[in-house]
Structure 1
């Protein structure tokens, strides 16, 4: 089939976005290709369509497990066979997956870059009919990028094994220096370069100073009742802000990495179906989300870098309609965020301490630990060693990026159970509690040793066998525990942690210390760019963003907060004061209501009201409202 037919048959789109078709043609001609496409530009189509047009398998290298899973689910919905090899999968399971890949007519094999460090996996891949090698998040190969991962350096070795297979490098953000480094490090031969502009002409980038952010949110959501996203920095803020938004009368839900998969799916679906207007989320929300009619994206805390901000803001207006990206800034935000963000960047000494304590925590001996996997509760770990949580998280994330550990940030529950009654007593219990029988029968059939020893059970499996919900299974177990029929332990875990290397303490940390220092310097500069973006009140916000991403031949957008301010004719304080007096003839109003009614900023309002008070034209009543005299 032709590319257009593939697109229509599997994705139900009638046409490609620029420059998707040109990238696909370059790949089909067997050329190494580099594509710089902003978020929402449709990068995955660029390798999925040509892979479907040719016999064989497309090898996709990606560092993001959540994104791999999301893409595989989307492919499977279209009856396209795909699988993933990520960290934490046992050797036996990996062999089975590769066998399936070789003999099961699969079209896509997703791989985390760390798996290329295993020679036997590379040997197995060499035996597969690879038709294209796609490298997602390609900026990770550059030590000048904001997310350097040494495992990416192994990718160029695949060139030796697949000299005639085209490489397609894809990234959503890379400076000119990083772009050149990507092509060099991946060994791309005379690569075809495709760059899509970062300009989003329908998005108005608005930066507002706001002491009372909830009031501004209320204004924005009332004016724009379409689907909205509010980005916050942590899980607690997710719950708090969602509750506050709901209290203001807007239907709201939340999304963060600490939710179970069921909670994530339920909350996501209610927002996608527009049962709720507002999704309050951390940056865990967004990968693979392509809801076209999001009207507003609001940031109520400063982003760490403009890459993340642009990516999150870009989830608005994908249908081409006018949309708003609003960043609310309080006077103390810069100082607060700077101390929070820069103070929690780990140095070499702290990184080494965390790594050693992590090995001790799981009782890993020196020279041991490779491929060992554990449930991991980071809060418990930090409490145990009196580590600061954010700084520890950054250290673990760095170790993950360097391939030393793999940290899947998926919430999980480990449930273990042991029956205390003998089988005869258990029958008596069932006769008194017949509604529990399906669940207990399913447990007894699948876990025969549960009378003798506390056993980890899979509640999803039990729910399926008992033809009931997982919530009901847990309710049954909790009731049994209360009646002392069983011992029940439910242990919540933030994530699963896998050691990818043997423990070598100082040798391990010394090897990556220079990258840590480099990364800290990059993150500091990135945050300085955020400060510049919010502080500059003269340059168009869209142009500031485009300039950051290397696009200099640009013009004012005409719709951002700076451009709108320029369009307003300068009103003198006396003119504003007269407008306020005219307004107050009808009713008493608060300063906020005046500001809202006359489309003023807080400085203009306060100055004009001060003039009126000093000249005895208005006074304040006991409800903090202004009335004319």
Structure 2
């Protein structure tokens, strides 16, 4: 393990591993199949990156998320570790070149999507690579019991007979008991070593608040806890709206979602990471690779789709071990809203077939064609043209993505078009004076021959691979060349993109995957019901409910969640508070905010007393969310 410690210090600057990273790495280096369940922020990537660097050869990393692959490749390249990713939209001839480079280019990491392994010729190429480790990230995707099942993951076991002596490590942040068993079975792991940290986060208090005024509740929380905070919302519009509202209240706030340009994402992220902004309001696009240790509160304004996502997102609080809070705000109407978004908008087979056919027509793809073709895509325009409901269509495209039929990238992207304005000899002279720009310029010139004659669209990820430079460095270089008058450089914005991973076969395509649709819809219903049970359960510790969901039974009450704290409210205090509230409500209808401002009763006691009055039919809630006598 001394070599592992040397590499940790050399590339990452750490003196020691977190528990149980060292034990997991030792298992892999010992040649054993390994399953590692580490909560979000537990440092999963080091568990395969370090052993891959210790041994000769290449580590094959299988990941379902393009953004995650790009993020990890960029981070490795910044550390002068050679890595490439075979993402969607790369044509076959380029994939062959990249795989050949893996053999002769001294690469240490090859990232691929599980869909790539379904292509026989890709598998044939990979078969000849000197693999030292196979790493399966987001391994819960292999299980039909998981919250993000992808059938293409079940084909990973094709690698086992091809590399019988190469260890396999499967990693995930959240898996129930059934999912763990399924991962081992589906991957055909041989006597695997299992490493699992308890899902308990003793420093996090889980709070569920029923409130009709979420804005006021957020204001209270942020004033009470002025440290860094994350607020998760459901859509991009609410990101902007809530961020603006909090700014108007005097909070330093920024926002983050998948529709922002890369530079604005980086700027907003920096504001929050450097604590120039206390709060970042975000969709679930935020979180990948984020490791800010002193986050005090994570607030969810709406119900999450499942407890796996909620656990991961709320787990971004308190990574420094300090006391922190995961707060979920809800109102009875949220149940209807969540069912509408997550359940009622699930597609059936006929709707899925219609969306797929129209999508092919939209991009003029003929029957039997379309594989590896990539297009810019605007969901709202597509839905408007065919009169499709947006959320149901979005769910259809997401399903097609998870089945590997298409890659539906919702990351904001820029289509870069550039042309060299100077003659080639002047460009060569510039390179001699500015050697730091040489690799990027030569990569562009070698791959786009007509770039002196006309504006040419370039592929940023291709130039990144050819120059062995992160995309951020390439963008900075191009901007510098533009400012010096060497190139003309423009960027056209795309909201998302669609890549077709298979030829168009219409009904045959959909019939093949429709068997998974019904099972997925039922699973989504069950998982949302688990969220509703968590929110409405007033008789059990919130921490215990989460642990029980992940298979940790018989856990003691945490003493630190909204339920445990409500138990501390004595009956005599409750009766006294109820009498005070009842007297005020008899005079006129009042909201909970107004009642708290008048009485100065603590929020926990107020909620407890109001619930008692509601349960005993002394009061009722009016449509304007004020309480009145029943």
The TM-score by the shorter chain falls in which range? 0.7 to 0.9
Assess, with a 3 A threshold, how the Cα gap between structure 1 residues 108 and 557 changes in structure 2: closer, same or farther: same
CA contact (8 A) 2:383 2:390 kept: yes
Alpha-carbon offset, residue 528 of structure 1: 0.2
**Counterpart Cα distance in 1 of 2:261 and 2:250:** 27
Assess, with a 3 A threshold, how the Cα gap between structure 1 residues 127 and 35 changes in structure 2: closer, same or farther: same
Indicate which of 575, 592, 595 corresponds to 2:596: 592
**Counterpart Cα distance in 1 of 2:485 and 2:355:** 40
1:547-586 matches, within 5 Å, as 547-572=548-573, 575-576=576-577
1:137-156 matches, within 5 Å, as 137-156=138-157
1:108 aligned partner: 109
Residue-by-residue CA offset, 1:268-303 (whole Å, 9 max, x unaligned): 111111110100000000011111000000001010
1:446-525 matches, within 5 Å, as 450=454, 463-467=479-483, 492-525=493-526
Residue-by-residue CA offset, 1:210-233 (whole Å, 9 max, x unaligned): 111111111110111110000000
**Counterpart Cα distance in 1 of 2:537 and 2:17:** 37
**Counterpart Cα distance in 1 of 2:370 and 2:390:** 24
**Counterpart Cα distance in 2 of 1:275 and 1:469:** 35
Alpha-carbon offset, residue 45 of structure 1: 1.3
1:124 aligned partner: 125
RMSD: 2.9
**Counterpart Cα distance in 2 of 1:193 and 1:348:** 38
2:429 aligned partner: none
Which secondary structure does the structure 1 equivalent of 2:178 belong to?
A: helix
2:162 aligned partner: 161
2:16 aligned partner: 15
1:49 aligned partner: 50
Alpha-carbon offset, residue 462 of structure 1: 5.5
Assess, with a 3 A threshold, how the Cα gap between structure 1 residues 549 and 596 changes in structure 2: closer, same or farther: farther
Which secondary structure does the structure 1 equivalent of 2:259 belong to?
A: coil
Which secondary structure does the structure 1 equivalent of 2:103 belong to?
A: helix
Which secondary structure does the structure 1 equivalent of 2:332 belong to?
A: coil
1:304 aligned partner: 305
Assess, with a 3 A threshold, how the Cα gap between structure 1 residues 384 and 572 changes in structure 2: closer, same or farther: same
CA contact (8 A) 1:377 1:492 kept: no
1:367 aligned partner: 368
1:26 aligned partner: 27
**Counterpart Cα distance in 2 of 1:163 and 1:69:** 29
2:267 aligned partner: 266
**Counterpart Cα distance in 2 of 1:468 and 1:448:** 16
Which secondary structure does the structure 2 equivalent of 1:110 belong to?
A: strand
2:348 aligned partner: 347
**Counterpart Cα distance in 2 of 1:469 and 1:267:** 29
CA contact (8 A) 2:418 2:489 kept: no
TM-score (norm 2): 0.84
**Counterpart Cα distance in 2 of 1:554 and 1:458:** 52
Alpha-carbon offset, residue 468 of structure 1: 6.5
**Counterpart Cα distance in 1 of 2:485 and 2:267:** 14
Which secondary structure does the structure 2 equivalent of 1:379 belong to?
A: helix
Residue-by-residue CA offset, 1:448-485 (whole Å, 9 max, x unaligned): 555xxx86589957633223699x966xxxxxxxxxxx
Q: Are residue 36 (structure 1) and residue 52 (structure 2) matched?
A: no
Which secondary structure does the structure 2 equivalent of 1:571 belong to?
A: helix
**Counterpart Cα distance in 2 of 1:150 and 1:214:** 41
Alpha-carbon offset, residue 103 of structure 1: 1.7
Which secondary structure does the structure 1 equivalent of 2:152 belong to?
A: helix
Alpha-carbon offset, residue 259 of structure 1: 0.8
How many residues are aligned here?
A: 562
**Counterpart Cα distance in 2 of 1:165 and 1:609:** 64
**Counterpart Cα distance in 1 of 2:263 and 2:599:** 44
Structure with max Cα Rg: 1
Assess, with a 3 A threshold, how the Cα gap between structure 1 residues 516 and 595 changes in structure 2: closer, same or farther: farther
Alpha-carbon offset, residue 192 of structure 1: 1.3
Q: Are residue 285 (structure 1) and residue 289 (structure 2) matched?
A: no
CA contact (8 A) 2:569 2:605 kept: no
CA contact (8 A) 1:305 1:530 kept: yes
1:377 aligned partner: 378
Alpha-carbon offset, residue 599 of structure 1: 4.4
Which secondary structure does the structure 1 equivalent of 2:572 belong to?
A: coil
**Counterpart Cα distance in 2 of 1:312 and 1:98:** 35
CA contact (8 A) 2:204 2:324 kept: yes
Which secondary structure does the structure 2 equivalent of 1:207 belong to?
A: strand
**Counterpart Cα distance in 2 of 1:52 and 1:457:** 32
CA contact (8 A) 1:253 1:276 kept: yes
Structure 1 stretches lacking a partner, 5+ long: 419-441, 475-489, 582-588, 615-623, 625-629
Alpha-carbon offset, residue 150 of structure 1: 1.8
**Counterpart Cα distance in 1 of 2:302 and 2:152:** 33
Alpha-carbon offset, residue 9 of structure 1: 2.5
2:196 aligned partner: 195
**Counterpart Cα distance in 2 of 1:356 and 1:343:** 22
Alpha-carbon offset, residue 600 of structure 1: 5.1
CA contact (8 A) 2:253 2:279 kept: yes
2:81 aligned partner: 80
Structure 2 stretches lacking a partner, 5+ long: 420-443, 461-474, 583-592, 619-625
CA contact (8 A) 1:573 1:607 kept: no
Assess, with a 3 A threshold, how the Cα gap between structure 1 residues 456 and 78 changes in structure 2: closer, same or farther: closer
> Which stretch of the first structure deviates more once superposed, 593-602 or 293-302?
593-602
> Which stretch of the first structure deviates more once superposed, 157-166 or 70-79?
70-79
**Counterpart Cα distance in 1 of 2:611 and 2:259:** 46
Residue-by-residue CA offset, 1:35-58 (whole Å, 9 max, x unaligned): 222212211111111111111111
CA contact (8 A) 1:462 1:473 kept: yes
Which secondary structure does the structure 2 equivalent of 1:43 belong to?
A: coil
Assess, with a 3 A threshold, how the Cα gap between structure 1 residues 320 and 505 changes in structure 2: closer, same or farther: same
